[in-house]
A and B are shown apart, each in its own frame.
Chain A
Amino acid sequence: MTITQDFTNLLENDKEAELIPFLQKLDKAQKKELVPALKRLFKVYSAFSQEAGIGSVRPKWSNAQRNVLGIAGFVCHNQKDFEQSNWGVINKETLDTILPWYCPAWFSDFINSYANQDFTPYFLNYDWYMELVEQNYVIETPALIAKILPNYIIESKLREHKYVPENLLKREITLKEHIWYIFEHESGVNWSYRYINLPEKSKDGLWIDTFKKYTDENKIDRKRLLKVSLKASNNNFNQTLSGWFIELFIKLEPTKAEVKELQEALFQALNSPHSKVVNTSAKYLKDLTDEKEFLVDAYLDYAVALLTSESKTVVAGALMTLDKLAKKHPDQREQICVIACQAFIHQDNSLQLRAAKLIQKYGHTQVDTLKETIQTYYDALFSEARDILIGFAIAFVNENSLTEDALPDSEASIIEIRMPENFDDFVFLASQSFDQNETYHFDLLPAAVLKFQHKMTADNILKLMPAFQRAYKIITSDWNSTMGYLDNMLAKFFISYGQLLVNFTPFAAEPIRQMQKTFVKLEDDKKANWSGYQTRLGGIKPWDVYTHSLGYKPHKHILLNAFFMLERKINLPLLSTPTHEPCWVSAVALIERLSLYQKANVMPGEMDLQVAIARCLPNHPEEALKLADEKLTGEYRAFMGFVLGEDNHAKDSYKCKTAWLMAGVAKSSPNIDAEWSSLTGLSQPYLNGEFGWESKVEDYFRKEYNYNLKEYVNIPDKQKIIRVNFGDKQKKTSTFKAVLNKLLPGQKEIEPSVYDYTELKFEYISAEHNDIKRLLYLMPRQPDILLAHIINKGFHYVDFMGENDKRLVIYTLETLLTLNYRYGTMSHLFVATCMISSDKTVRTYAAELWIKGVAEGLLDSNAIGRIIGKHERIELAPLKRFTDLIIANMFQISKKHNSALEGLLCHCVEQMGDTPINGCKKLLEIYAEVLAINKSKIALEHVIALLNIWESTESLKKIIQKLKNAG
């Protein structure tokens, strides 16, 4: 029998006891011979399979067989092969039976390789590792010791754990050398015991306690420990580990004399990227300022880093220290003043004031360097600091001030959309239409299909096949994160058109038929494999979203309108296809399109016309009116004239009532005239988007798992919410009138308009955020109704619950920035609520909308202030979000904006309660600063009265005095 056969026999028959004598007999060549068989057997025995009758999945081997393979591998393999088949053989118990007679050359490298792994294997502990080192099987590696030593002060048996710091005394070398490795190599000393519960001891700080214990007992050199812990905190380790080392330093409570000796290390620690390390070092250094050994030059070198710190305490501390140093060292005052200027980067009045006072005290107005430095920072200063530093002014006009970026001018920068001119353009449009590269691709595709419907030759259809394939894939594949329901709707429209082509020109459209067949088969296969599978293929006609939301109806109606014309081979364009970005239809184009319908004597689609009017851009009115005179007659001429500024009115005989409604709304929003609301069944407040709303604290029940009862229980709790009350959607009609309407002949029901369909319906947001832009572009001049829905859904829990609802709000903000309309109640509520949102991107967008709205006179800044004031009455969100936003994005934009900001702040304070909320001081500071800049005073009596009440709060006294004296 060969070696391999012997081994296989031994393995198959579970003869574990015979393994070691067998392996001991093998020479080098025989071991090598066994390797291929070992690899093969390992593969066979380690393969997982389902155990008959049980249903659980497990490998083929028994425990004994696994050991046999593992041990044989340890003896025969090289390191690489062993690593690939190592299964539980590396442990003290097993290796004690092998190492005395055989230790592979690679064993030391193998064990030490764990130093570079992200994890420490459970079998490797300090005791055993040291035994291996002591028996010369393994060469000692500091990095690995640093990794395994932290676990050495706990002994664990099953779930019992015991704190045994005395383990560190077992070997002399442990405290003498090994303990220091922890400070040089990355280890888990900071989190080793996170998951262990010790009955008699708090698990926090076990290692810190251990260090303290042995330094107190003089078993660890305290001086060295202080030095290395400080150094380790700045060793480029991760944040928590660095933080742990500085914590150890603090807990060791260094004396002033000790700190003095560690000055240099403390200075270096100021370089650390971790704030805890920097802040702690700065604190210790500050305490040394009065000492004569204090290294002044070194401090001045590092002061810049401290003054730019995010922590206000650190900056204030540094300024205090600089003040002391300037007092003590007159020769360095100039340098100190220049350094102190760094504090001006903080948009914080008290810090700026402190720095300015220091400069005023020690700086010379004749020193050029100082004047130049102050000059650089001047634009960033608050008025108080500015006033103090007036003597240092060269000429307070910043010549290098940066050129401003203008906001896109919505009227001037209007960009024309290119409609496909030839079939090739159409092909490339079709293949990207379902990606929403542009929102208007949704409109462009059906328009292009209509335009090229008469060019569907076999060759051209072939060119469209990649687009058809994309459409099929969009419908049948899994949803992706950028897809909206509208993309699915558009894809279904396109494949429906494909089927129409198969009917019209079976020969030319054969590839489409084949493709349909392929995808139908794929869908059938999926259905056969998965009983719950819902077949996804289907046309545009039965399309619906699972929520059955009405919000998607207008888009569907327009696509059905296009499909209707394709079915009948009607060669007319859609009216609502945008001609200019992002959604506008130029008046000239609309007149041209309408004239085609008039000429053909075809009634346009109801929804298509409504959306076209809603999107109509009345630019170049004179030219457009001239064209309307030439090309339109009757009702079309009348309402286009109205759109373009003429004083026309809807007559009873007119057929397109909803088109008149859209034109009327577009023109008079947000205060829609009663004349127009008579053209709809919607109530006037609803049409105006004038909904009631409130931000309030609501009682509710929170579900919490009760471990004793082993079930979820309802816990009463409170939550802060915003709710919009939509009121009555439809006009109230008396029963008598309703009956009369039914009985009287010729009474036509009012057609539903886009606004009847406006809705955002979901319990959990799925893909609606990817549609929101396109939904908003249905009503670009009166988005308030949809915004009310967005507020109710997007701010359901004030702070976002997930990424999708955040995106819903961000995409809405993005869309609003591209529109020019007068803000109604809901638009103000939306923007104001976004200003205190938990997401900075959302807040910044809201600020940009405010900047744009103020510049163009489209919004009421005071109304924004009132809403935020109402929200903050119940502290709906931390006020800091809002004050930070003002400083960063809304302050000092222009004179006009400063004036609007003043109104905003005044009305915000007006709405607050008698008890000042957290963060009020900062708000009032900003208000005072804005008043100072505007050379203005508090405009509302109620605000003065409120401030008088607030004045009883000690911390607000000073700022309120300042406010009252403003102007």
Chain B
Amino acid sequence: MSDTITYQYNRSSAFNKSASLDELFLAKYSEVQKKDAPCFFWGRLTDPYTTARCLLTLSNVVQSSFNLSPFQLALLKDPIVTAGNEKIRFEGFSHCAGVYARVDVLGDGHDGEFLESGTTNVDFNQPMLSALSNVRKNENVLLSIGQKEVGLHRENEKVIERKVPLPVKWIKALTSVQMFLSESEKVHSFNRLQALQLFKTIPSGKPKTDYYLLIRGGKPMFSPVKSNDAITVGGLHRLKLIEPLLAIADELRVFPHATMQATTWQVYIGAIRFTLSLSRDTWRGFSGEGAGLESLIEDVPDNWVELVDNYSYANQEFNATLLAVNEGLDLQKVANITGRLSAIGLLGYDLDENNFFYRRLPFKLSRIMSLNPRLKDAEKLLLEGKVKIVSRESNKVEAQVEGSGVKHIVILNGDREQCTCTWFSKNQGERGVCKHILAVKKLIIN
């Protein structure tokens, strides 16, 4: 698999100004386009000002990096957009893959037609972003994702190619973040005032310690002190990315992950919703958390992907049971199908609707599957015969896995999984299981 990804756009995205109607044209490109779909959406934005502010915030997320990697910072990754089922969703990640952002333009946020449904990369270039900065309130703006009329595209115009090294972390994070979202629940809902008050308590600079969202004296605030049920936020300064949106927000909702491994912040502005998810800490991207690993222990049959592809359309709610019934799949085998499908980039997660939705990442499946080094390492251990089951009782498995210089002990006891390796000792399973446990599980299942 090539280590470079080439975005090929027929023309650049642009914000075209005219006397009566401005047009936000977004050029698109997908590696896995099934058929030629020139245009996904074409229509008016009902609140172009808010949409523009949200897209700019998204671009700020995409251009940000919260750990030091100047090389990576130089590479702009284009956000992806999913259009269909009356919704337009723009998604992207920071370079460090620790911040996920999504703009959902819901039903009332647009007035136009979905000519096709699907997911694609969209070109976010500087001139277009500059133009977006100047969108006024009450302006008439048309949005087109892809070209509606091929005629617009001049024959001799050059295809715009942008080659970037394969954003491995980025794609991997897109497949992992859905797991965190699906395990998050709403805990707080703040009005604009409370949200602004809360953000005023973010310390300046880059705090290195965890902060906790708690309520003191009737006010929400961030404190470095943990108290009962407070929400843990590592790398708090990252949250400032959504600060510019608060002045126009109706509401801010906070969704912590069940074990505080991530927090999600949703800003509601009319029919537009901005989602920001923060990983556990600045140095921990969603990509490295191994959230999807366990879902991939079992191989995903190729025909499933095809089935799901045929069965669903973009942004449609995904219902595993219904799929199994309609397509005659054995329900036993469909267990955890959502986890497995999102781990290969077929599903996104909507926190408000509390369900997965279909959206196929515009990258080749083979790319996505090649992104899990821990899983590959586990497979290597099995291949080299380094895994030995020592004992196996009803609920308990003890195994020995050869490491470098020592044999690690793996014990799976009900829900409790333990290993003697350094990774496990340090993280105690918080960042996904280690390759040794993965290998043992894979050996047992297969």
Contact B127 A184 (CB under 8 A): yes
> For residue A845, which residues in chain B have a CB less than 8 angstroms away from its CB?
224-225
Report chain A residues within 8 Å CB of B200. Answer: 345, 888
Can you give 9 A-B contacts (C-beta < 8 A)?
A268-B134, A271-B133, A345-B197, A404-B218, A407-B225, A466-B409, A466-B420, A840-B203, A844-B223
Q: Could you tell me which residues of chain B, from 385 to 431, have a CB within 8 Å of some CB in chain A?
A: 398, 403, 405-409, 411, 418, 420-422, 424-426, 428
Chain B hits for A174, CB < 8 A: none
Q: A306 — nearest CB in chain B belongs to which residue?
A: B247
- Given A380-B219, A844-B224; A435-B418 close (CB under 8 Å): no
Taking a contact as CB atoms under 8 Å apart, the answer to whether B218 and A379 are in contact is yes
At the interface, yes or no: B165 with Cβ under 8 Å from chain A? Answer: no
Q: Distance in Å from the Cβ of A818 to the closest Cβ of chain B?
A: 10
Given contacts A405-B215, A405-B227, A406-B228, contact A380 B134 (CB under 8 A): no
Do the beta carbons of A466 and B421 come within 8 Å of each other? yes
The interface bits of chain B over 51-77 (1 if a CB of A lies within 8 angstroms of the residue's CB, else 0) are 001001001100000000000001000
Give the residues in chain A near B223, CB-CB below 8 Å.
Answer: 844, 848, 889
| Residues 329 to 365 of chain B near chain A (Cβ within 8 Å) | none
Fill in one digit per residue for B422-442: 1 if any A CB lies within 8 Å of its CB, else 0: 101110100000000000000
Q: Which of A426-441 contact B (CB under 8 A)?
A: 427-428, 431-432, 435, 437
B126 near A406: Cβ-Cβ < 8 Å = no
Q: A146 to nearest B CB, angstroms?
A: 11
**B214 within 8 Å of A (CB atoms):** yes
Q: List A contacts of B244 (CB < 8 A).
A: 273
A852 to chain B: closest residue by CB: B225
Q: How far is the CA of A408 from the CA of B207 in the complex (A)?
A: 23
**A470 partner, pick from B59, B191, B422, beta carbons under 8 A:** B422
CA distance A893 to B193 in the complex (A): 19
Contact between B203 and A844, CB atoms less than 8 A apart = yes
B230 at the interface (CB under 8 A from A): yes
Residue ranges of B at the interface with A (Cβ–Cβ < 8 Å): 53, 56, 59-60, 74, 126-127, 129-130, 132-134, 136-137, 188, 191, 193-194, 196-197, 200-201, 203-205, 207-209, 214-221, 223-230, 244, 246-248, 398, 403, 405-409, 411, 418, 420-422, 424-426, 428
Q: Which of A298, A406, A470 is in CB contact (< 8 Å) with B425?
A: A470
Q: How far is the CA of A469 from the CA of B425 in the complex (A)?
A: 13
Would you call A427 and B409 a contact (CB within 8 A)? yes
Check A424 against B215 for contact (C-beta < 8 Å). Answer: no
Collect the chain B residues with CB atoms within 8 Å of residue A469's CB.
Answer: 405-406
* Residue A936 is within 8 A (CB to CB) of chain B in the complex: no
User: Across the interface, which residues of A come within 8 angstroms of B407, CB to CB?
Assistant: 462, 465-466
In the bound complex, CA of A473 to CA of B220 (Å): 45
Q: Are A308 and B196 in contact (CB under 8 A)?
A: yes
| Identity of the chain A residue whose Cβ is nearest the Cβ of B56 in the assembled complex | A236
Contact B207 A893 (CB under 8 A): no
B130 partner residues in chain A, CB cutoff 8 A:
184, 235-237
Q: Is A402's CB under 8 angstroms from B74's CB?
A: no
Closest chain A CB from B213 CB (angstroms)? 9
Point out which of A267, A271, A518, A840 has the most chain B C-beta atoms below 10 A from its C-beta.
A271
- Judging by beta carbons under 8 Å apart, are A344 and B193 in contact? yes
| Beta-carbon contact of B426 and A435 below 8 Å | yes
| Interface residues of chain B: helix, strand, loop or mixed (majority) | mixed
What CA separation (Å) do A208 and B293 show in the bound complex?
Answer: 57
Is A817's beta carbon under 8 Å from chain B? yes
Query: How far is A817 from B228 in the complex, measured between Cα atoms in Å?
Result: 13
Q: Which of A230-285 contact B (CB under 8 A)?
A: 231, 234-237, 264, 267-268, 271-273
- CA–CA, A407 to B227, complex, Å? 5
| In the complex, chain A residues whose CB is within 8 Å of the CB of B205 | 840
Cβ contact within 8 Å between B225 and A848 = yes
The residue in chain B whose Cβ has the minimal distance to the Cβ of A891 is B217
Once A469-B406, A803-B208, A889-B221 are accepted as A-B contacts, the answer to whether A428 and B418 lie under 8 Å apart by CB is yes
Residues of A near B219 (CB, < 8 A) are: 379-380, 402
Contact A431/B425 with A406-B228, A845-B225 known, Cβ cut-off 8 Å: yes
Query: Given A184-B130, A432-B425, A405–B230 Cβ distance below 8 Å?
Result: yes
Residues of A852-907 at the interface with B, using a CB-CB cut-off of 8 Å, are: 888-889, 891-894
List of B residues within 8 angstroms of A407 by Cβ: 225, 227-228
Q: From residue A232, how far is it (CB to closest CB) to chain B in Å?
A: 8
Within the complex, what minimum Cβ distance (angstroms) separates A844 from chain B? 5
- CB pair B218–A402 under 8 Å, yes or no, is yes
The winner among A236, A851, A893 for most chain B CB atoms within 10 A is A236
Complex interface: chain A residues within 8 A of B133 (CB): 234-236, 268, 271-272
Q: Does A675 contact B (CB under 8 A)?
A: no
Of A235, A267, A894, which contacts B136 at CB under 8 A? A267
Are A424 and B218 interface neighbours, CB within 8 A?
Answer: no
Q: Is the CB of B207 within 8 A of A431?
A: no
How many Å lie between the Cα of A406 and that of B228 in the bound state? 6
* B248:A428 contact, CB within 8 angstroms: no
Asked if A413 lies at the interface with its beta carbon under 8 angstroms from chain B, I say: yes
Q: Does A735 reach chain B (CB closer than 8 Å)?
A: no
Closest to B188 in A: A402
* A9 located at the interface, meaning its Cβ lies under 8 Å from any Cβ of chain B in the complex: no
Inter-chain contacts of A357 with B (CB < 8 A):
none
Contact A413 B216 (CB under 8 A): no
Q: A401-B218, A405-B216 are in contact. Are A841 and B74 (CB under 8 A)?
A: no
Task: Note all chain B residues with C-beta closer than 8 A to A487.
Answer: none
Tell me whether B426 and A432 are in contact (CB under 8 A). yes
In the complex, the chain B residue whose C-beta lies closest to that of A848 is B225
A404 — which chain B residues lie within 8 A by C-beta?
A: 215-218
Knowing A304-B247, A408-B228, A810-B209 are in contact, say whether A403-B215 is a contact too (CB < 8 A).
yes
- Since A379-B219, A844-B224 are in contact, a sample of 16 more A-B pairs with Cβ atoms closer than 8 Å, ordered by chain A residue number, is A236-B56, A236-B133, A305-B248, A308-B247, A345-B193, A345-B200, A380-B197, A398-B218, A404-B215, A405-B229, A405-B230, A413-B228, A428-B420, A810-B209, A840-B204, A848-B224
In the complex the two chains form, is B207's CB within 8 Å of A840's CB? yes
Query: Using Cβ atoms and an 8 Å threshold, which residues of chain A touch B194?
Result: 402
Closest A residue to B425 using CB positions: A432
A424: B residues at CB distance < 8 A? 398, 409, 411
Q: Is A186 an interface residue (CB 8 A)?
A: yes
Shortest CB distance B413–A (Å): 9
Question: In the complex, how many angstroms separate the beta carbon of A377 from the nearest chain B beta carbon?
Answer: 6
Interface centre among B133, B191, B221, B225 (most CB of A within 10 A): B225
Find out whether the CB atom of A264 lies under 8 angstroms from the CB atom of B215: no
Which A residues touch B224, using CB under 8 A?
A: 810, 841, 844-845, 848
Partner of A432, one of B136, B215, B428: B428
Q: Which residues of B contact A810 (CB under 8 A)?
A: 209, 224
Contacts of A237 in B (CB 8 A): 130
Q: Are B221 and A466 in contact (CB under 8 A)?
A: no
Q: How far is the CA of A465 from the CA of B248 in the complex (A)?
A: 59
Query: Separation in Å of the A688 CB from the closest CB of chain B?
Result: 28
**Which single residue of chain B is at the shortest CB-CB distance from A344?**
B193
Query: Is A921 in contact with chain B by the CB < 8 A criterion?
Result: no
- The answer to whether A405 touches B228, judged by C-beta atoms less than 8 angstroms apart, is yes
Name B216's contact: one of A268, A431, A435, A893 (CB within 8 Å): A893
Query: What's the least CB distance linking A67 to chain B, in Å?
Result: 30
Q: In angstroms, how far is the closest chain B Cβ from the Cβ of A236?
A: 5
Q: Residue A353 at the B interface, CB < 8 A?
A: no
A301 to nearest B CB, angstroms? Answer: 5
Select which of B134, B188, B246, B408 is within 8 A of A231 by beta carbon: B134
Q: Is A761 an interface residue (CB 8 A)?
A: no
Residues of B within 8 A of A893 (CB): 216-217
Whether the Cβ atoms of B420 and A889 lie closer than 8 Å is: no
Q: How far is the CB of B150 from chain A (nearest CB, A)?
A: 26
A185 proximal to B (CB < 8 A):
yes
**Is B228 touching A437 in the complex (CB atoms < 8 A)?**
no
- The 6 A-B pairs of least Cβ separation, nearest first, read A840-B203, A466-B420, A432-B425, A405-B214, A235-B130, A848-B225
Report chain A residues within 8 Å CB of B405. Answer: 469, 515, 518
